[in-house]
Amino acid sequence: MQTIKFSNASTDFYFDSSLKQLGKIVDKQNAIVITDQNIFNAHESRFKSFNTIVIPAGEEQKKQSTVDDIILKLIQNKADRKSVLVGVGGGVITDLTGYTASVYMRGIPFGFVPTTILGLVDASIGGKNGIDVGVYKNMVGIIRQPSFLLHDLTLLQSLPEKEWQNGFAEIIKHACIKDAAMFKQLEQYSLKDFKADKTLLAELIKRNALIKTKVVQKDEFEKGDRRLLNFGHTIGHAIETQYNLMHGEAVAIGMVFASEISHQLKGFKEQDRVKSLIEKYQLPTTIQFDAKKVFEVLAMDKKRVQKEMNFVLLDKVGKAVVHPIALKQLEKIINKL
């Protein structure tokens, strides 16, 4: 176990651990597990001794009415301020769990057991807990750190191939913005290699979890370095819901576009290298989109400050910068993409 301190809280990381340890981390009497129907069906026996709330699976559940449902179930379960919510699932479940725990009775403790690559390396880390409002991603939420994070890589057994690719989009993002050596490693190996070699995979996941953790630790409330994690996410979020893409697919396309904009505005030269790596991990690199509609959603992005967008660009592989772009200029660039 490794304890990482944030500004107001600390998170205990249990890397390469097992769901069996959960009973030792939390008191089963007080714990309420939140998971989705797919995870529950795939690993039913592992939930037996826990009080569990099961919600339908799917990205579209990440909304207020699901939070409302969970709150009613917490009241029925007589959850109080000593209760601990444990989100076992992908990003949707960990976001819903963290957000609900942050507002139920004005805040009760929570922890996460991520069951997807995306969850393990990204969504579960950093304390951003949010829900979508219509097409607007994470429009509502709270920054609050989980008490603990437990990794059990055997839960990945039930993960569909698409979800593996989805998670690797964020791993490629980390390589682009912070870790040129890992970028090279990803070029050398393939998704198949990582799936076949448990040690290689465990190391990659830990490396990525720590990249994200370090960035968040330095800048929990996103005034500086944390904004770099949005690489690929500005256009990514704007196309994700409109074209019904998986988050990783949208981010992959977003990274290709952001690399192209980096080339145009910053003289970045490795845009083909980024594109090839994304292709290697079987992620999409482009999409036909309605520029007007995409720009409309994008203009409501949280990274907008009045008439400028704080866009994340690459100087080189492994080094990202925040670059403000006037909305009018951005509109022109997007029309030409």
Per CB under 8 A, residues contacting a second copy are 8, 64, 68, 71-72, 75, 78, 80-82, 102-107, 128, 130, 133-134, 136, 138-143, 299-300, 302, 304-306
Residue 47 CB, nearest approach to a second copy (Å): 23
Q: Is 237 among the residues known to form the active site?
A: yes
Is residue 226 part of the annotated active site? The answer reads yes
Identity at 199, one-letter amino acid code: T
Name the residue nearer to a second copy (CB basis): 23 or 107. Answer: 107
User: Could you tell me which of 245, 264, 276, 277 has the C-alpha nearest to residue 313?
Assistant: 264
Instruction: Choose between 63 and 184: whose C-beta lies nearer to a second copy.
Output: 63
Candidates 43, 46, 174, 247; catalytic one: 247
Indicate which residue of 46, 128, 144, 227 is catalytic.
128
Q: How far is the CB of 271 from a second copy (least distance, A)?
A: 30
Nearest-approach distance from CB 119 to a second copy, in angstroms: 19
Give, in degrees to the nearest 5, the angle at Cα 326 between 322 and 332.
Answer: 110
Question: E strands along 144-253, which residues?
Answer: 148-150
CB of 108 to a second copy, least distance (A): 10
What's the rounded Cα separation, in Å, for the pair 182 and 330?
31
Catalytic, 233? Answer: yes
Residue 152 DSSP SS3: coil
**CB nearer a second copy, residue 111 or residue 127:** 127
Per-residue buried b or exposed e for 97-114, using 16+ beta carbons within 10 Å of the residue's own CB: bbbbbbebeeebbbbbbb
Residue 151 designated active-site? no
- 62, 137, 144, 212: which one is catalytic? 212
- The single residue of 222, 240, 249, 270 carrying the catalytic annotation is 222
Tell me the two tokens of residue 100: 């609900």
**Judged by CB, which is closer to a second copy: 104, or 257?**
104
Contact 57, 36 (CB under 8 A): yes
Which of 144, 173, 237, 303 is an active site residue?
Answer: 237
- Annotated catalytic residue 247: yes
* Least spacing, CB of residue 105 vs a second copy, in Å: 5
Cβ atoms of 212 and 118 closer than 8 Å? no
Active site residue 106: yes
d(CA 175, CA 241): 25
Our answer to whether residue 260 is catalytic in this structure is no
The answer to whether 144 is a known catalytic residue is: no
User: Which of 104, 311 has the CB closer to a second copy?
Assistant: 104
Active site (annotated) includes residue 230: yes
Question: Whole-number minimum distance, CB 325 to a second copy, in Å?
Answer: 16
Closest CB to a second copy among residues 107, 224: 107
Q: Name the nearest CA neighbour of 109 among 65, 145, 69, 55.
A: 145
**Sole residue written with tokens 């200029």:** 329
The SS3 assignment for 318 reads coil
- Long-range CB pairs of 274-279, under 8 A, 24+ apart, other chains included: 274/172, 274/176, 274/314, 274/317, 277/172, 277/175, 277/183, 277/186, 277/187, 278/169, 278/172, 278/252
Annotated active-site positions, please?
Answer: 106, 128, 170, 212, 222, 226, 230, 233, 237, 247
